Structure 1
Amino acid sequence: MKPRTPIQKEVARLSKRLPKLTATQKAYAFRHCFDHYAIKRADGTNICTECGHSWKSDHDLADTLCGCTCPHCGIRLEPLRTRKSVFRENEYFSIITTYKQYQVIRFFFVKSRYKAGQAAEYSVFEVVQRWIAPNGTATTIARLRGMSMFYYDLWMKDSDMEIRPNGGLLAYDIAPACTYPRQRFIPELKRNGFKGDYHHMRPYDLFKSILSDSRAETLLKTGQYHMLRYYIHSFFDVEKYWASIKICIRNGYNISDCSMWKDTIDLLRHFGKDTNNPKYVCPPDLKAEHDRLMKRRNLQMERERREQKRQKTIEDEKKYLKAKGIFFGLVFSDNLISVKVIESVEEMMEEGRLMHHCVGDYHNRKNSLILSATINGKRIETVEVSLKTFEVVQSRGVCNSDTEYHDRIIDLVNGNANLIRKRMEVA
């Protein structure tokens, strides 16, 4: 990408002047980016993956449990029992430095190849540079990367280090295996509260935030590291909660669980509490206060659901009365079986609950009439009659099964269908 803005042009020019990796920096990367192993063979032989030296240990069990040191190169080794002979690993190494007025974070792609009996082979080349101006403006210089969404390190080694877009490409959000310990920082970072501790944040995210956002700077200076990390790494509208955060800062209250604290503030607002009052926003036991408010909110929601259900039931009863009221009171019997129209939504739901089928929702069926067949008051089957054909659509006993009276019930209802038709004619 061709540099367009003045800052991009300056960074592109300065990037070419950055020094190459020194031998000491390379050695540090090779030593700390990877785990180094003592390959343990079945005959008790140990092979150092770093220098290729092999030896037999007199303390095999201790070496397996605690690790060992190569007697040839002196490097500390982790035991690895395997029959493999060739190992390849890729990792990232970073250098945090300054150039002119810029804070610069350089990322290097480090590759290793181990083969049993041979000295380790390493290679390293630079892939990304993040340049951060004193005002927080960031510029990225990087090599081209393969167009795969699934592979993190498909860098095109022969491509040029050029200006690349900052946003939207996770390939530049690199978490290196190690960072060179000798680091340099621009004075503006120290002015804005940075003292060398990243507090489990990526340097790029932290530097850019505290240089460009006064609220991030305030959180860092006041020791609200958890909230700063939450602010940087999540879609958190800090402006909405900033007044309450300042109350916590003034009262020396450290917000350790930011998500729970945010939910607590939302609950306090829901109940109309003063979120500028330390009594509410700085609870001694955040979890207990959050759980108390959440329980109260759940009870409130349950009451609201019950009230909505009650209102819906009243509305359904009105609709059911209007639609099927002309059939209420209709009963016919053959001296054993009695069949009556179900006369309310509540009665229909009770029918479905006791009979273990889905008739409880049938009160909305426009062209159906639901009846209950009983013997001596005991429910036997539930009957659905079509108001178009005046015939039985279905008749179901407990758990949708047919009873021994099934055919008799259908004959009884069909034989009295004229009573249903007459009710409709009168209406």
Structure 2
Amino acid sequence: MLTWAKVDCLEHKGFATKTRVICMDCGNSFSPELVSRKKAVCPHCNTKLKIEQTRKRTDEQRTYIASAELYGEFQVIRNFELRSYHKSGEAASYYISEILQHWMLSNGKREVVARRHTVNWYCDSWGGYMEIQDKSNERRYDVYPKKFHPSSVFKAEYRKYGIDKNLEGLTFLEAIKLLPKSPIAETLLKAKQYDLLNHCQGYRGRVDRYWPSIKICLRNKYRIKDATMWFDYLQLLERYGKDLRNAFYVCPKSLKKAHDGYVAKKKRDDEKERKQRDMQKLLALKKAAEDYVKDKSVFFDLKISDGTIVIVPLKSVEEFKEEGDRMHHCVFTNEYFKKKDCLILSVVSRRNQLRQLRSISIH
């Protein structure tokens, strides 16, 4: 397991600066001149590396891998935790530990043999010995392996649904529960549409809604690698009235480019609509200001005073806004200037130390 996993299940990185590239597999450095399109082959260990521009000199990786085996009448799924530690100047260190086994019979009965899984907001660890655990807690004792070992063997009853060493998008337990009940999920698995298959668990409504478009992709052998982006793209196509059963639209050569193009178009249209709404609000406010002066100007000379305070009506929409901002109330926001049967009065002291509003009904 470890020999295979070190090559096929971990990322092979090179950390680069302007003067050197560190192979995180063997720890040796080499010249950046060997890098081409963010890729390089280490001259020391012949490993193909993905180059990252960073000053980091250490790295750590963790993943799950699995192996499927037959033991008597049982289908056994063995899960392993793989960790690797990388440091400049040193060869990488690898550790593998078996953490979980699923033992299943054809009649659906099963048992879980695993280490204790401690999982919470700050910890995700496996400890103790392999022993029978509570199988009802599937979230705790089920993991998603990155890959199955090439020598994995599955029963024929599972292979007929497309479950084999290439299983992706679902855990084995999720697959044997979902696939017999969902022809759509079975079709997606056999078509190797793994990211869409993953959506059958939490976002089944999206898959059902756009199933005709998905069938177009299947007929054209179009692989959807980012289902979330693809579904967002289809929603944008709907907004602009495009044919979702036309391969030209639903199978773009570059999904990201097509998606980003429609996102930019939607932003432009949304901005245009916002400006139109703002203009309409401005025109409506201007009309309301004219109507207010027309209806209430007869009261503008009104003044009530006891020698200490003076009460006067608000004479414009601008004064309503000033009062609302100063006093932190809704006289402007709730458009009291549009109320035909109200006159809003401002109570002001001679030294402008006190301002209050009063509303009186006009009959």
What secondary structure does 1:387 align onto? Answer: strand
Q: How does 1:100-139 map to 2 (within 5 A)?
A: 103-107=75-79, 127-131=99-103, 139=110
Tell me: CA distance 1:367–1:315, structure 2 relative to 1, closer, same or farther (3 Å). Answer: closer
Tell me: CA distance 1:391–1:139, structure 2 relative to 1, closer, same or farther (3 Å). Answer: farther
Higher helix share: 1
Query: Is 1:388 equivalent to 2:347 in the alignment?
Result: yes
Query: Is 1:252 equivalent to 2:224 in the alignment?
Result: no
d(CA) in 1 for partners of 2:198, 2:335: 61
Moved more, 95-104 or 203-212: 203-212
What secondary structure does 2:101 align onto? Answer: strand
Q: CA deviation at 1:263?
A: 1.1
Moved more, 298-307 or 193-202: 193-202
d(CA) in 2 for partners of 1:264, 1:101: 47
- Please tell me whether the aligned partners of residues 80 and 100 of structure 2 are also in contact (alpha carbons under 8 angstroms): yes
- Please tell me whether the aligned partners of residues 213 and 245 of structure 2 are also in contact (alpha carbons under 8 angstroms): yes
The partner residue of 1:297 within 251, 266, 270 is 266
Tell me: CA distance 1:284–1:156, structure 2 relative to 1, closer, same or farther (3 Å). Answer: closer
Q: CA deviation at 1:146?
A: 6.4
The partner residue of 1:96 within 57, 63, 68 is 68
Q: CA deviation at 1:212?
A: 4.6
d(CA) in 1 for partners of 2:116, 2:293: 69
Q: Which residue number corresponds to residue 143 of structure 2?
A: 173
TM-score between both structures, scaled by the size of structure 2: 0.55
d(CA) in 2 for partners of 1:199, 1:143: 22
Amino acid at match of 1:259: T
What secondary structure does 2:124 align onto? Answer: coil
| Residues 1-56 of structure 1: CA deviation (Å, up to 9, x unaligned) | xxxxxxxxxxxxxxxxxxxxxxxx8x979999xx9xxxxxxxxxxxxxxxxxxxxx
Higher strand share: 2
Q: CA deviation at 1:388?
A: 2.0
What secondary structure does 1:269 align onto? Answer: helix
- Please tell me whether the aligned partners of residues 192 and 210 of structure 1 are also in contact (alpha carbons under 8 angstroms): yes
Amino acid at match of 1:287: K
d(CA) in 1 for partners of 2:29, 2:258: 52
Query: Is 1:161 equivalent to 2:132 in the alignment?
Result: yes
Q: CA deviation at 1:214?
A: 2.0
Q: How does 1:233-382 map to 2 (within 5 A)?
A: 237-313=206-282, 316=285, 321-322=291-292, 326=296, 343-344=316-317, 364=332
Tell me: CA distance 1:217–1:102, structure 2 relative to 1, closer, same or farther (3 Å). Answer: farther
Tell me: CA distance 1:204–1:425, structure 2 relative to 1, closer, same or farther (3 Å). Answer: closer
d(CA) in 2 for partners of 1:91, 1:265: 33
RMSD: 5.8
Identity %: 25
In structure 1, runs of 5+ residues without a counterpart are: 1-24, 36-59, 68-80, 82-89, 112-121, 332-340, 352-356, 370-384, 395-413, 415-420
The partner residue of 2:196 within 227, 230, 247 is 227
Q: CA deviation at 1:261?
A: 1.7
Tell me: CA distance 1:152–1:312, structure 2 relative to 1, closer, same or farther (3 Å). Answer: same
d(CA) in 2 for partners of 1:343, 1:28: 82
Number of residue pairs matched by the alignment: 295
| Residues 215-269 of structure 1: CA deviation (Å, up to 9, x unaligned) | 2221232243443345457676311111110111123333233222211211222
Q: How does 1:396-407 map to 2 (within 5 A)?
A: none
Tell me: CA distance 1:287–1:31, structure 2 relative to 1, closer, same or farther (3 Å). Answer: closer
Amino acid at match of 1:214: P
Tell me: CA distance 1:248–1:175, structure 2 relative to 1, closer, same or farther (3 Å). Answer: closer
Q: CA deviation at 1:105?
A: 1.0
What secondary structure does 1:153 align onto? Answer: strand
d(CA) in 2 for partners of 1:325, 1:229: 64
d(CA) in 1 for partners of 2:169, 2:317: 63
- Please tell me whether the aligned partners of residues 196 and 224 of structure 2 are also in contact (alpha carbons under 8 angstroms): yes
Amino acid at match of 1:145: R
